[in-house]
């Protein structure tokens, strides 16, 4: 090999090695994730129009009656669980959804898509503390678009009741929940955004949607004023929303929100189009 070509190859190999060494590695899956993975089917949604594929997990209730349709709970994870391993999004929140005391309320499907590193449920690249935003200035992320397509595909693939699709999410996923319901009104029957931030000017779009939002008063990442701004806007248009503030709680208020049995009792009472 000519010396100059050898030098070029060596330089390229060194560059590749350096990039590989500096590439952030995904954390190994937790015991909770590995346990849940055995109970949830792994799939990947691909659309050539999107910049990336979106992995997801689906829990199917094991005991189902032929001809009956069941609720679907869609969960949008927080920023810390982004990746491509289809495992990190299987966290303690998902474990609560699959817990016997919650599944005993009635059998239901659980969909947990995973947003890749480098993108968000809301494609706006903001940094904390997060504040309300103008939705019209930010295009919908491919991860959110893929989630909608997955939901629609499941209607024909699984015995899911299209009038009982529920959406919830925490932190980045809480914001993603606000963003999704105001971009796609009429898709879900109810929503539970947790520690999220939305666009108050879009309140009228979801005025008839049952919403139960949760937020901690000491949240420094997504300040409590974010939910208060949404509540003021929703109440101004006579919305069905309700808001719970956890006094003295910081950003992680989802543990309390999802630990309440009444959260899910309320959720499963909701039907799309019900007045």
pLDDT of amino acid 275: 55
Please tell me the distance from the alpha carbon of residue 191 to that of residue 235, in angstroms, as a whole number.
Answer: 16
167 with 176: CB under 8 angstroms? no
pLDDT of amino acid 27: 76
Q: Which residue carries 């239901």 as its tokens?
A: 108
The alpha carbon torsion through 251, 255, 258, 261 (nearest 10 deg) reads -130
Phi, psi of 144 (to 5 degrees): -70, -40
pLDDT of amino acid 125: 85
Q: What are the CA-CA distances from residue 193 to residues 23, 143, 159, 175, 211 (Å)?
A: 32, 17, 25, 7, 8
Question: What SS3 class is residue 221?
Answer: coil
Please tell me the distance from the alpha carbon of residue 244 to that of residue 216, in angstroms, as a whole number.
Answer: 9
Q: What are the CA-CA distances from residue 25 to residues 12, 19, 48, 79 (Å)?
A: 22, 12, 26, 15
Catalogue all structural domains in the chain, each as residue range(s) with its CATH number.
29-268 (3.40.50.1820)
104 with 71: CB under 8 angstroms? no
Q: Where are the alpha helices (DSSP H) in 40-126?
A: 92-97, 100-103
Q: Where are the alpha helices (DSSP H) in the chain?
A: 3-22, 31-37, 92-97, 100-103, 142-157, 172-183, 225-236, 254-259, 261-268
pLDDT tens track, the chain, 275 positions: 454 544 444 443 343 333 333 434 667 889 999 999 999 999 999 999 999 999 999 999 998 999 999 999 999 999 999 999 999 999 999 999 999 999 999 999 999 999 999 999 998 888 999 999 999 999 999 999 999 999 999 999 999 999 999 999 999 999 999 999 999 999 999 999 999 999 999 999 999 999 999 999 999 999 999 999 999 999 999 998 999 999 999 999 999 999 999 999 999 999 998 75
Those residues whose C-beta lies under 8 Å from the C-beta of residue 165, and which sit 6 or more positions away, are 71, 72, 74, 151, 187, 188, 189, 272
Please tell me the distance from the alpha carbon of residue 234 to that of residue 202, in angstroms, as a whole number.
Answer: 9
> What's the predicted TM-score (pTM) here?
0.90
Q: What is the DSSP letter of 49?
A: T
52 with 142: CB under 8 angstroms? yes
Please tell me the distance from the alpha carbon of residue 262 to that of residue 245, in angstroms, as a whole number.
Answer: 15
pLDDT of amino acid 25: 61
Question: The sheet that has 190-194: what strands, in order across it?
Answer: 41-45, 54-59, 109-113, 70-76, 160-170, 190-194, 212-216, 242-246
- DSSP readout, 257-268? HHH-HHHHHHHH
């Amino acid at each position: 090999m000519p010396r100059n070509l050898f030098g070029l190859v060596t330089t390229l190999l060194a560059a590749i090695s350096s990039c590989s060494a500096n590439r952030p590695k995904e954390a190994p899956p937790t015991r909770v994730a590995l346990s849940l993975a055995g109970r949830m089917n792994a799939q990947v949604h691909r659309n050539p129009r999107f910049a990336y594929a979106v992995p997801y997990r689906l829990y199917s209730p094991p005991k189902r009656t032929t001809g009956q349709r069941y609720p679907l709970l869609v969960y949008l994870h927080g920023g810390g669980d982004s990746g491509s391993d289809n495992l990190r999004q299987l966290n303690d929140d998902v474990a609560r959804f699959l817990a016997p005391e919650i599944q005993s309320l009635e059998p239901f499907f659980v969909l947990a898509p995973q947003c890749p590193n480098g993108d968000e449920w809301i494609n706006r690249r903001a940094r904390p503390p997060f504040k309300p935003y103008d939705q019209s200035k930010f295009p919908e992320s491919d991860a959110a678009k893929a989630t909608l397509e997955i939901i629609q595909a499941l209607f024909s693939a699984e015995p899911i009741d299209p009038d009982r699709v529920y959406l919830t999410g925490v932190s980045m996923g809480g914001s993603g929940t606000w963003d999704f319901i105001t971009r796609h009104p009429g898709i879900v029957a109810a929503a539970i955004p947790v520690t999220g931030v939305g666009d108050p000017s879009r309140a009228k779009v979801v005025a008839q949607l049952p919403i139960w939002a949760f937020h901690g008063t000491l949240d420094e990442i997504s300040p409590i004023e974010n939910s208060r701004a949404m509540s003021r806007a929703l109440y101004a248009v006579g919305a069905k929303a309700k808001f719970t503030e956890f006094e003295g709680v910081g950003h992680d208020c989802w543990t309390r929100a999802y630990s309440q049995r009444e959260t899910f009792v309320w959720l499963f009472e909701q039907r799309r189009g019900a007045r």
